[in-house]
Amino acid sequence: MLEYSMLYPRTTKSRRAVSMDGMWKFHLDQEEWGEEKGFAEGIPGKDLIPVPASFQDFYTGKEIREFTGDVWYEKDIFVPGEWEGNKIFIRFGAATHRAVVFVNGKEIASHEGGFLPFCADVTEHVCYNAYNKVVVKVNNELTVTNIPCGETITLPNGRKMSKPYFDFFNYSGLQRSVYLMSVPKEYVFDFDLDYKISGRDAEINYSVQTTGEHAVEVELFDEEGKQAALAKGKSGVLEVENAHLWRVHKAYLYRLVIRITDGDRLLDEYEQEIGIRTVEIKGTSILLNGKPVYLKGFGKHEDSDIVGRGFQIGVMKRDFELMKWIGANSFRTAHYPYSEEIYQMADREGFLIIDEVAAVGLFASLMNFMEASTGKETAFFEKETTPLLLKAHKRALEELITRDKNHPSVIAWSLLNEPETSSDAAVPYFKEIFDLAHELDVQKRPRTFALVMNSVPGVCKCYPFSDIIALNRYYGWYVKGGYEISEAEVLFRKELDAWKALNLNKPFLFTEYGADTMGTEHKLPSVMWSQEYQEEYLNMVNSVFDSYDFIKGEQVWNFADFQTTEGILRVNGNKKGIFTRQRQPKDGAYLLRKRWKKLPLDYKA
């Protein structure tokens, strides 16, 4: 069990959550002498940087953008005297990819994994009614023993350099919000919810974990603020009459309030918006509340100008408005868990999320988007270090499910993206990951992983683990692009016919497909990279999708152009976006809008 709560920071009658976002002192430890020089007690210089944000794109020096190693952050925080006697935490929404936290010069906590929260318990280490110095050492080096996977090399000039096994830029730093929190000594640590729909009514089975033994009360309020159900005990059932179900683009959110009481005295109170809905796989159908849904949407990235992967509330709002405009109803959090606020927004807007752990790069290649389509094998899971990777992967999965399990928008878990699946060694690795996901999730949501181009019938040994077969396919781009697109369609259909022949009786979902497109380029007749070719490509794949009844969703790659490592195959980033990085539509956006607005929610039911 996790030693810290993953519940989102909230201020209630018993809790306080104070944002530490803003300008922090910042220092790049290029000499790697921060520990020796006493940076834990305060970092040198006067440079300031915003939090949350990636650090790379604020500066004009390439050596900063490409910096690999330790970076240090510092901020003074005031801890009110009235908080004394409570538990005091500093909660980091993410520190990419690992961090060590110091308070008043003393090491308090450390964490590995760059896309999920962690808490530092500073109760015994802060001075009350006074300012306290918080210093965080963040390291962004890539390894094969942590996810996402990659290498860190040293150049002849002595500088370290990141070599990712994935096709997006290694943005890093304190990229999500930081909170100073005060909670009672006996507090709500975690809770699980599961749903059952019976006619017009619903049952919410709940289980609450606390740090003590006092009585627990759970109350449910509807959107008008009226009590919808009440139950007592750490576990039980909330009976909801005439339940309002959470539906696609028709989200109804109840407010769940959990209280710990000692007689008439309130010890702790926590609340969260929830949605009543069920998810299951039946044959080739994905069922929401017992009814088939066809997924239309995107693979996405947390990526925008200047702040990189840092959470930006304005960018989030724009993204959801564009997804509504184009007729999308879903997205995958490629290739890592996103900021919690995005899930909260999806809950409110009625979007379906395939929630992906940061297990990308489990294919030893600096260009696996190209090499995987050639049939290359890398024996990735046969390394001596694989047990260390598995341990980190399982830890990240536990954190992901613990954090996101109570979001109605989350309908499936994606446990890996484009891993190598051709070796026997991959099978036991996959089994441990898939079994753990099933064990951790009381709702037993479907599990999947995104199959890379060379994971095809007769080669892939791991697809049987998936409840949904998710394919990343680039026929017409990496395979037989341009004038050969007609042959690409033949090969595409040949593969799908091979899948059909297996008679798996499972839904298939395309989690990636796309063509790089410059928003400025027009060419008649089309050539690759032009907007005309992107439309030609989309028309081809759409016709393929419509030809197979077991295909139950299409999530194009990508929502918007995004930054990658520089190279001859990337023009200042990946340009497969349907929208530009500045969130403006390419011509393909209008094509998809016309299609997706017409497709019914239960398409191919």
267-295, pLDDT tens digit by residue? 999 999 999 999 999 999 999 999 999 99
> φ, ψ for residue 463 (rounded to 5)?
-60, -25
Section 58-84 average pLDDT:
97
CATH of the domain at 354: 3.20.20.80
Section 439-467 average pLDDT:
96
Is the domain of 256 the same as that of 370?
Answer: no
Distance of alpha carbon 426 from its chain centroid, rounded?
Answer: 23
Please state, in angstroms and rounded to a whole number, the distance separating the CA atoms of residues 62 and 331. Answer: 33
Is the domain of 194 the same as that of 178?
Answer: no
List the helix and strand counts (H, then E) for the chain.
9, 30
Is the domain of 142 the same as that of 207?
Answer: no
Is the domain of 168 the same as that of 243?
Answer: no
Q: Give the pLDDT band (50/70/90) at residue 213.
A: very high
H runs (alpha helix) in 40-191: 62-65
Section 506-520 average pLDDT:
97
Domain-embedded: residue 8: no
What confidence tens digit (pLDDT) does each residue in 171-181 have? Answer: 999 999 999 99
Q: At what angle do helices 485-502 and 531-545 cross, to 10 degrees?
A: 30
CATH of the domain at 221: 2.60.40.10
Domain-embedded: residue 524: yes
* Whether the predicted pLDDT of 564 surpasses 90: yes
Is the domain of 214 the same as that of 174?
Answer: no
Domain-embedded: residue 375: yes
Is the domain of 154 the same as that of 259?
Answer: no
* Whether the predicted pLDDT of 367 surpasses 80: no
Number of domains within the chain: 3
Retrieve residue 547's tokens: 């030809």
What confidence tens digit (pLDDT) does each residue in 174-208 have? Answer: 999 999 999 999 999 999 999 999 999 999 999 99
Domain-embedded: residue 476: yes
Is the domain of 458 the same as that of 504?
Answer: yes
- HEC string of 81-116 equals HHHECEEEEEEECCCECEEEEEECCEEEEEEECCCC
Q: Give the pLDDT band (50/70/90) at residue 370.
A: low
Is the domain of 313 the same as that of 427?
Answer: yes
**C-beta separation of 321 from 585 below 8 A:** no
- Of 219, 356, 399, 418, catalytic: 418
CB atoms within 10 A of CB 210: 20
Pick the last residue of a domain from 241, 274, 307: 274
Section 236-259 average pLDDT:
98
Pick the last residue of a domain from 183, 216, 231: 183
Is the domain of 370 the same as that of 315?
Answer: yes
Is the domain of 314 the same as that of 437?
Answer: yes
- The answer for residues whose C-beta is within 8 angstroms of residue 299's C-beta and 6 or more apart is 331, 332, 334, 511, 512, 555, 556, 557, 558, 559
Please state, in angstroms and rounded to a whole number, the distance separating the CA atoms of residues 329 and 604. Answer: 16
512 catalytic residue (yes or no): yes
Is the domain of 210 the same as that of 340?
Answer: no
pTM: 0.96
Q: Give the pLDDT band (50/70/90) at residue 364.
A: confident
Distance of alpha carbon 129 from its chain centroid, rounded?
Answer: 37
- What is the reported pLDDT for 453? 92
Parent domain of 457: 296-598
What confidence tens digit (pLDDT) does each residue in 575-586 have? Answer: 999 999 999 999
533 three-state secondary structure: helix
Is the domain of 224 the same as that of 238?
Answer: yes
- Of 356, 399, 512, 536, catalytic: 512
- What is the reported pLDDT for 379? 78
Average pLDDT of the chain to the nearest whole number = 96
What confidence tens digit (pLDDT) does each residue in 373-417 have? Answer: 555 666 789 889 999 999 999 999 999 999 999 999 999 999 999
- The answer for residues whose C-beta is within 8 angstroms of residue 427's C-beta and 6 or more apart is 461, 462
- What is the reported pLDDT for 366? 56
Domain-embedded: residue 170: yes
CATH of the domain at 150: 2.60.120.260
* Whether the predicted pLDDT of 369 surpasses 80: no
Domain-embedded: residue 405: yes
273 catalytic residue (yes or no): no
Considering only residues 264 and 1, tell me which one the structure prediction assigns the higher pLDDT. 264
Q: Which one, of 574, 434, 583, lies nearest residue 516 by Cα?
A: 574
Please state, in angstroms and rounded to a whole number, the distance separating the CA atoms of residues 21 and 24. Answer: 8
Pick the last residue of a domain from 183, 198, 220: 183
Distance separating the N- and C-terminal Cα atoms of the chain: 40
Domain-embedded: residue 167: yes
Section 88-95 average pLDDT:
98
Domain-embedded: residue 7: no
